Amino acid sequence: MRRLALALAAVSLTSCSLAPKYARPDLPVPPSWPVGDAYLRQSEASLPSITYAQVFTDPRLQRIIVEALANNRDLRIAAANIETARNQYRIQRAELFPQIDATARYGYSGGGNGARSSTGSGTGSTGGTTTGTGTTGGTGTGTGTVTTGSTSSSNSSYSASLGTTAFEIDLFGRIRSLTTAAQNRYFGTEAAARATRLTLVGDIADAWLTYAADRSLLKIAQDTAASAQRTVDLTAARLRAGVAPRTDVRQAEQILETARADVAQLTTALAQDVNGLQLLVGAPVDPALLPASIESAFPTVAALPAGIDSTILLRRPDVVQSEYELRATNAEIGAARAELFPRVALTGLLGFASSALSSLFAGGAFNYSVAPSASYPIFRAGAGLANVRVSQAQRDAALASYERAIQTAFRETADALARQGTLDAQLGANRRNEAAAADTFRLAEARYRGGIDPFLARLDAQRSLYTAQRTVVQTQLIGASNRVTLYRVLGGDQTLSDRPVERASSALLNR
């Protein structure tokens, strides 16, 4: 009996598979990044191995990221999803092994007038009963009966047994294909968690840089308001002296009130930036970790060159997740095909029975039985073939989703590279424009005070300077955010881009 059980288990574990052989599809994108005036020459350099600490070099930002990785609720949800997927895989894998039930029984019948008889039994289970989402195991039952009547004898009976009921021998790989599908969905869930972490790091960097830009814009608005207040005081004094018209005072007040409105709006924006950053971190953020200006924060975000080979997109977590889903649907084709073949099941029982408890485990009390069975669907009105076609259609949909994920990743990376290629020229032009606007304002101020130019010329110069200063800040924020985008679209950290779950899976499979 033991040899037979071991042989059947071995047959089940080494069954054939009817799933199509998986082959990674060709990349539906060009083999290299676009080239041209919008792209950097260094796009032909190889992509270095990076970590977020190499990209975001400011120690304050690194500390915020560390706190977020420990406290963010989205990461905790992702960790719970991984645990769920891992145990769903284990539930499915348990069907490869027989469920063993233990049963003990006692019976008694008595003789004489008004005699009575009673029986009792109990069962226990080692193993589990697999359902779609969970397992029930370790069950126990008991029954008893009492009868009255007339009999002339009495006796007791004892029995103990171990058995398995309807254990499916996986000759055609149905259960193993379903197990493979569950395993790949587990791996896909881990890839989704890496995508969540990658997005979180990028969002924190963006929020930190946005706060820095708003701090710079607030200082510009405050400086402009202070300058406009001095101008209003000067023109009001000239009005009282009869030197300047009332229109000069009103025009100066327009600049002042515009700057004051920007100060109020940016004060609100800074508070909201902190609130958003605290939500991402999942805990209060130390104000000492916040940047003072975009001018100081922008240089701390390192630029990343892109690799010439677009296959690096295969390391993006969202692409990895799509490929695991494709593998899972490919395995489900094998399970659907196996449904077309007979199912072979085994029911076995071995145990002891005796009329005396002291001789229950004697040699003569041993008995066993084996009852193999096979079932084959004769007529299902085409449901079996339709199920195969459903799984094939789902595989085709997963393939299209996988290719779309790669194409989307290619487009996002190419867009980021195009922006990076022209950003330095744009920032340089904006800074030169700011310097020219500042010099124009100084000259217009001097000419107005000297009575050479009207106040309108000075007013226009101040407005131009204010706009130029804000544009430089916004361009610096765009440049820093573009580097964050490149970090994300190229897959982020090497620890997030590799496939450690495949290397770690062997330990899980051997448990």
Provide the 3-class DSSP secondary structure of residue 367: strand
- Among the ranges given (114-123, 125-134, 445-454, 459-468), the one the predictor scored with the smallest mean pLDDT: 125-134
Sequence-ordered list of residues with C-beta below 8 angstroms from that of 255, at least 6 positions apart, any chain = 224, 228, 231, 459, 462, 463, 466
Are 115 and 148 a contacting pair, CB within 8 Å?
A: yes
- pLDDT tens column, 93-107: 888 888 888 888 878
Mean pLDDT of 114-130: 47
More confident residue, 350 or 198: 198
What mean pLDDT do residues 47-55 have?
Answer: 69
- Reported as a single tens digit per residue, the pLDDT across 318-341 is 888 888 999 999 988 888 888 777
Q: How confident is the model at residue 358 (pLDDT cuts 50, 70, 90)?
A: low
Tell me: do 9 and 73 sit in the same domain. Answer: yes
Q: Are residues 219 and 124 in the same domain?
A: no
Let me know whether 113 and 153 are in one domain: yes
For residue 364, what pLDDT is reported?
67
133 is in which domain, residue-wise? Answer: 99-169+342-375
What DSSP element (H or E) covers 386?
A: helix 383-449
Report the C-alpha gap between 174 and 343 in whole angstroms. 9
pTM, two decimal places:
0.73
Query: 51 and 81 share a domain?
Result: yes
Distance (Å, whole) CA 344 – CA 347: 10
Number of domains within the chain = 2
The predicted-structure confidence for 442-464, as pLDDT tens digits, reads as follows 999 898 888 888 888 888 999 99
247-255: Cβ within 8 A, 24+ apart: 247/455, 248/455, 251/455, 251/456, 251/459, 252/228, 252/455, 252/459, 254/459, 255/224, 255/228, 255/231, 255/459, 255/462, 255/463, 255/466
pLDDT in the model for residue 16: 62
Q: How does residue 352 score in pLDDT terms, banded at 50, 70 and 90? A: low
Mean pLDDT, rounded, for 484-492: 83
Q: Are residues 230 and 279 in the same domain?
A: yes
pLDDT tens digit sequence for 162-218:
888 777 877 788 888 899 999 999 999 988 888 899 999 999 999 999 999 999 999
Q: What is the CATH number of the domain that holds 163?
A: 2.20.200
- Asked if 391 contacts 336 with a C-beta cutoff of 8 angstroms, the reply is yes
Could you report the per-residue pLDDT of 241-256, keeping only the tens digit for each?
A: 887 788 888 988 999 9
- Looking at the fold, whether 184 and 287 belong to one and the same domain comes out as yes
Instruction: Provide the CATH number for the domain around residue 215.
Output: 1.20.1600.10
If pLDDT is split at 50, 70 and 90, which confidence band does 110 have? low
**pLDDT confidence of residue 428:** 95
What is the arithmetic mean of pLDDT over 4-11? 50
CB atoms within 10 A of CB 428: 11
Instruction: With residue 161 as reference, give the H or E element that holds it.
Output: strand 155-169
pLDDT of residue 384: 83
Q: Look at 270-279, 328-337, 479-488 and tell me which has the smallest mean pLDDT.
A: 328-337
Q: What angle do CA 45, 49, 52 make, to 5 degrees?
A: 120
- Whole-angstrom Cα distance, residue 270 to residue 338? 61
215 shares its domain with 363: no
* Residue 90 predicted with pLDDT over 50: yes
Q: What is the pLDDT of residue 141?
A: 41
Q: 330 with 316, same domain?
A: yes
Taking a C-beta distance cutoff of 8 angstroms, is the pair 354, 360 a contact?
Answer: yes
- CA–CA distance, 299 with 47 (Å, rounded to integer): 20
Maximum pairwise Cα distance, the chain: 137
Q: In this structure, are 109 and 165 located in the same domain?
A: yes
Instruction: Write down the mean pLDDT value for the chain.
Output: 78
- How large is the average pLDDT for residues 361-378? 73
Measured distance CA(278)–CA(286) in Å, rounded? 10
Q: What percent of the chain has pLDDT over 70?
A: 73
CA 210 to chain centroid, in Å, comes to 25
pLDDT for position 259: 94
Q: How confident is the model at residue 154 (pLDDT cuts 50, 70, 90)?
A: low
| Cα dihedral across residues 89, 90, 93, 95: positive or negative | negative
Residue 148 banded pLDDT, cuts 50, 70, 90 = very low
Q: Facing residues of 122 across strands?
A: 104, 142
My answer on whether 84 and 164 are in the same domain is: no
Mark whether 153 and 294 lie in a shared domain. Answer: no
Let me know whether 136 and 120 are in one domain. Answer: yes
Report CA Rg, the chain: 38
Tell me the two tokens of residue 105: 């029984």
Contacts of 174 (CB under 8 A, 6+ apart): 168, 334, 335, 338, 339, 343
At 28, is the pLDDT very low, low, confident or very high (cuts 50, 70, 90)?
low
Contacts of 11 (CB under 8 A, 6+ apart): 169, 171
Is the predicted pLDDT of residue 390 greater than 50, yes or no? yes
